């Protein structure tokens, strides 16, 4: 995929701090247009506004920097401009309302494949919305949609992939503080962020030791996403995507704590349903299906052997 053009002549957009470069997406996919901004408040927010104005499925928005980037539960995320891949896609899948989680799942799976292909790093999916390398977070996915009963209602799925941030530790830095020294082009705040992320997050650069081009990563992601989105249009296709999610999900077999709006409970994650929901064998209670919730890995169940401790 070529680098974005300068985009001169495009209309200004609320929330945008720059005019986007506009290029076609990969040939043979529904992703016909890619808008690449230097800065946006939020790629998801921008695309939701475009969807409400009737934008077609497949519109892709990328930002070098987000001033209001966020994850689930309103969590903030910050990185230096142009360090990571911050992208949202507009989907209008033929998807039952109960199975809408699969829209974010297929983006996570396609991103996992793309990261592995370009960096050689093995990537797991943590339910519901993270990519992990070992027990460190590589990427987060956030799906948002206007509530409605239609099976073609728009769903915006955003993902932030840590490409070059947090950086690799230098030889004199410890595992507890592998942030680089603060220099003239790096604020004390970003130095502290890198330090805080040392034990919880990672990047493709940090794991592989070599740079990954963001435009190539985006292209690989979109090419891999096309057949997965197409599969969401049939029961068999959805079943296959859910099965792939279960196979790639490091949460399966782990002892977990699940926090929902109404309760918290501990158990062992045992399966993913055909709708993409998580089944947890709750201690002293039995199986419970989690549709929405925050999942914390505690340790692997004694009979299991994969995933983070």
The three-state secondary structure class of 128 is coil
Verify that 261 and 295 share a domain, yes or no.
Answer: yes
- How confident is the model at residue 76, as a pLDDT? 55
Reported as a single tens digit per residue, the pLDDT across 65-121 is: 998 755 444 455 567 899 999 999 999 998 999 999 999 999 999 999 999 999 999
Tokens linked to 27: 């040939």
- How confident is the model at residue 148, as a pLDDT? 61
Domains: count for the chain: 2
CA-CA distance, 103 to 83, in Å (whole number)?
26
Q: Across residues 276-300, what is the average pLDDT? A: 94
Global pTM reads 0.83
CATH assignment at residue 266: 2.30.30.100
CATH assignment at residue 218: 3.30.930.10
Residue 201 predicted with pLDDT over 70 = yes
- Residue 8 inside a domain? The answer is no
- How confident is the model at residue 54, as a pLDDT? 94
- Residue 10 inside a domain? The answer is no
Unique residue bearing structure tokens 């297929």? 106
Verify that 141 and 77 share a domain, yes or no.
Answer: yes
- Residue 3 inside a domain? The answer is no
Verify that 31 and 60 share a domain, yes or no.
Answer: yes
Q: Across residues 252-278, what is the average pLDDT? A: 97
Q: Between these two residues, 69 and 142, which has the higher pLDDT value?
A: 142
- Residue 9 inside a domain? The answer is no
Tokens linked to 22: 């506009």
Verify that 276 and 216 share a domain, yes or no.
Answer: no
- Residue 193 inside a domain? The answer is no
- How confident is the model at residue 153, as a pLDDT? 87
Verify that 141 and 84 share a domain, yes or no.
Answer: yes
Verify that 212 and 280 share a domain, yes or no.
Answer: no
Give every CB contact of residue 66 below 8 A, 6+ residues apart in sequence.
39, 40, 41, 42, 43, 77, 86
Q: For all residues of the chain together, what is the average pLDDT?
A: 84
269: enclosing H helix or E strand: strand 264-272
Radius of gyration of the chain (CA): 19
Verify that 227 and 260 share a domain, yes or no.
Answer: no
Q: Where are the alpha helices (DSSP H) in 91-171?
A: 101-119
pLDDT category, 298, cuts 50, 70, 90? Answer: very high
Beta carbons within 10 angstroms of residue 82's beta carbon: 15
Verify that 72 and 118 share a domain, yes or no.
Answer: yes
Residue 168 predicted with pLDDT over 80 = yes
Q: Across residues 281-308, what is the average pLDDT? A: 78
Residue 164 predicted with pLDDT over 50 = yes
- How confident is the model at residue 1, as a pLDDT? 47
Terminal C-alpha separation, the chain:
39
50: enclosing H helix or E strand: helix 43-52
**If you write DSSP's letter for every residue of 153-202 in order, what string do you get?**
--EEEEEEE-SS-SPPPPTT-BTTB-PPPP-TTS-HHHHHHHHHTTTTB-
Query: Which region among 127-131, 192-196, 202-206 has the lowest average model confidence (pLDDT)?
Result: 192-196
CA-CA distance, 214 to 220, in Å (whole number)?
10
Verify that 257 and 221 share a domain, yes or no.
Answer: no
The residue range of the domain holding 263 is 251-300
Reported as a single tens digit per residue, the pLDDT across 232-263 is: 999 999 999 999 999 999 999 999 999 999 99
CA-CA distance, 164 to 189, in Å (whole number)?
17
Verify that 32 and 108 share a domain, yes or no.
Answer: yes
């Amino acid at each position: 995929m070529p680098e974005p053009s300068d985009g001169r002549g495009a209309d200004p957009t609320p929330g945008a701090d720059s005019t986007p470069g506009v290029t076609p997406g990969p040939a043979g996919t529904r992703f016909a247009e890619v808008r690449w901004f230097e800065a946006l408040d939020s790629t998801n927010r921008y695309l939701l506004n475009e969807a409400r104005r009737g934008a077609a499925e497949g519109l892709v928005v990328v930002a070098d920097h987000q001033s209001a980037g966020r994850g689930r539960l309103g969590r903030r995320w910050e990185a230096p401009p142009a360090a990571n891949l911050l992208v949202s896609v507009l989907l209008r899948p033929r998807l039952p309302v109960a199975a809408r989680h699969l829209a974010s799942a297929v983006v996570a799976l396609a991103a996992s494949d793309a990261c592995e292909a370009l960096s050689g790093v093995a990537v797991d999916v943590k339910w519901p919305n993270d990519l992990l390398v070992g027990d460190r977070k590589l990427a987060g996915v956030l799906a948002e949609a206007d509530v409605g009963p239609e099976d073609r209602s728009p769903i915006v799925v955003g993902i932030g992939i840590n490409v070059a941030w947090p950086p690799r530790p230098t030889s004199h830095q410890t595992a507890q503080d592998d942030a680089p020294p603060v220099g003239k082009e790096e604020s004390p705040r970003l130095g502290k962020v890198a330090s805080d992320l040392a034990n919880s997050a990672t990047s493709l650069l940090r794991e592989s030791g070599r740079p990954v081009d963001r435009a190539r990563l985006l292209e690989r992601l979109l090419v891999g996403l096309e057949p997965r989105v197409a599969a969401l249009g049939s029961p068999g296709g959805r079943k296959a995507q859910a099965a792939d999610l279960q196979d790639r999900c490091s949460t399966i077999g782990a002892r977990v704590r699940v926090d929902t709006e109404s309760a918290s409970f501990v158990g062992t994650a045992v399966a993913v349903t055909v709708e993409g929901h998580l089944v947890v064998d709750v201690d002293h209670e039995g199986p419970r299906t989690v549709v929405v919730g925050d999942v914390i890995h505690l340790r692997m169940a004694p009979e299991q052997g994969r995933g983070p401790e």
